[in-house]
Chain A
Amino acid sequence: QVSAALREGRVSPTELCQRCLSLIKSTKFLNAYISVAEETALKQAEESEKRYRRGQPLGVLDGIPVAVKDNFNTAGIETTCASNMLKGYISPYNATVVQKLLDQGAVLLGKTNLDEFAMGSGSTDGVFGPVRNPWSYSRQYKEKSVPKCHCEDKEPSWVITGGSSGGSAAAVSAFTCFAALGSDTGGSTRNPAALCGLVGLKPTYGLISRHGLIPLVNSMDVPGILTRCVDDAAVVLGSLAGHDPKDSTTVQDNFKPFEVPNVTDLSKFSIGIPKEYHAPGLSSEILALWSKAADLFKNAGAKVIEVSLPHTPYSIVCYHVLCTAEVASNMARFDGLQYGHRAAASQSTESMYAATRREGFSQVVRGRILSGNYFLLKQNYENYFIKAQKVRRLIAQDFVKVFRSGVDVLLTPTTLRDAMPYKEFIQEDNRTRSAQDDILTQAANIAGLPAINVPAALSERGLPVGLQFIGCSFQEKQLLTIAKWFEKQVKFPVIQLEEMEKHDHGVFQHQKSAYFS
């Protein structure tokens, strides 16, 4: 809808950009953005405006304000990965996905906050501080929270966004942009999407280029897409997917951008409900929601069957070993010599590297590097790393078997519960939390499958809860078709932020059911 508004001249790209920028300023307390590229964004908006005046917009994304997670390289704009190691690092190039967005005329507002190097599930462990979930300030949440005592602060304790792409999620959820890029290695796009009431798409591994995405786990990372509705996700997917000669792990198959069809007849679809996803700790609310969703599909004529993915309980362990091992390797490039932080130590290269890494990496990052190195030691390689790779195959095979048996898409919860208050979240360490929170999402990364979170309902505390659909490799169209149907049925409520009500502009009325076109 906003794209149509731009085309019809009801709003101009510069106006849109300015309003988003001012909204970013007024929602600064969310800490969603690390860098705001005000000047370049306005320039891009001006260029876009010229194109619209000539009647030649580049496409649906022309003039649309977007945000990008700060682990994607952006030329001329600082890329920090929320780490001291890269503070002040200005990349000389754009990640392929960033370039593609810019080539379509999108307006890059800034870089969003994350857990340091995307390691975490709360967006609380970056050097720029934690990200606050915009829903903490929503009428829906405030109404449901019982004030502990009248003398304490008037606001209820704020909740986390989830992570690690929390900044991107907060940015989209608070209406400061129309879409944001995240990354997804273990659930890092779907988790914050669920907790912030957004659509979070993890594409099939190999569909979207990782060139320029600072890698965590090369065999599992994918760029993720965060939007307010499924149609928007399809638009962004259409502009990003496809072979990139600069990323050898992108497949060479031709990708055809698509509009998500509206289906009404679900009789030819088969939805699988994997019983192992009834994980320990799953809140009764989400369990009930999952069940209700299954019934919704059943009543609409779809075939809904219980399936089994027997190795599910081990997927988090497998992920833990493979992730730390690949991290140990990927983080080795940060030595202070060519870019990033460099320590003053100069007795030897090794001591300089050691001091640089000592100063530049947080405890979380160092912990994972050391664990990874442990699993890769000669004496442990076979027992841990190779073992995990074998378990990986078993997990991937579980999915293949289920899809081969006729199931089109799997329906599972995305998170165990709604967003936790920050004060509660930080009581456990990063590794424990990641192990708990990634449990429902990371199997899709291990198997390389596409998965999407669709916001489903508000919890008893007034916070978003989502459900996840997992599809077959490269079957994004089918996955999004089913996701869109579900989205239409649940009619997830719009966040009621007092900030929003202050800016009573026609443009933001469009955002209530924000479609691009």
Chain B
Amino acid sequence: QKVTVAVLDHLEHLALVDFRDSEGVEQLQKAIQFADQLHEVNTDGVEPMDSVLEDRCVYLREDDVTEGNCTKELLKNAKEKVEEYFVAPPGNIPLPKLEERDSFLQ
């Protein structure tokens, strides 16, 4: 079962990462094929496992501020900044549709 272009496009949107070329798409197909082997295993009545520490009560600290005041250091690594702000391009503009953007999937 081949993955449709619609799904590939959807994935590029979700991941904000591109397939780049046919090899990229082929890679996904192979990955799915490989993963399909899971269906050979009988998992009736088995609960999914999130973490090997599921039986333990892990430590959660109090919601108190204990560290911080390192604005200068944190801003050092940002490329675009103004005063104490990280600068982002305008939000709420979705990625252009497939027909309008520069994607291999075209």
Contacts and interface: CB of A to CB of B under 8 A. Distances in A.
Interface of A: 89-90, 92, 205-206, 219, 243, 245, 248-252, 311, 314, 317-318, 320-321, 324, 328, 335-340, 342, 345-354, 357-358, 361, 363, 366-367, 369-371, 373-375, 377, 383-384, 386-394, 396, 429, 431, 435, 447-448, 473
A68 B67 CA distance: 25
Contacts of A250: 59
Interface residues of B, number: 58
Contacts of A337: 78, 86, 88
Given A251-B53, A357-B17, A371-B27, A393 B59 contact: no
28 contacts: A92-B74, A92-B77, A251-B58, A314-B40, A338-B78, A340-B77, A347-B93, A348-B89, A348-B93, A352-B89, A354-B17, A363-B24, A363-B27, A367-B28, A369-B15, A370-B19, A370-B24, A370-B27, A374-B7, A384-B35, A384-B38, A389-B49, A394-B43, A396-B49, A396-B52, A429-B27, A448-B52, A473-B52
B46 to A, nearest CB: 4
A338 B86 contact: yes
A375 B11 contact: no
B93 to A, nearest CB: 4
A435 B34 contact: yes
Given A338-B78, A390-B46, A370 B15 contact: yes
Nearest to B51: A219
Nearest to A360: B17
Secondary structure class of chain B's binding surface, majority of residues: loop
Given A337-B86, A353-B16, A390-B49, 5 more contacts: A338-B78, A339-B78, A349-B90, A367-B31, A435-B34
Secondary structure class of chain A's binding surface, majority of residues: helix
Contacts of B2: none
8 A-B pairs with the lowest CB-CB distances in the bound complex, closest first = A448-B52, A389-B48, A348-B93, A339-B77, A390-B43, A393-B49, A92-B73, A371-B31
Nearest to B44: A390
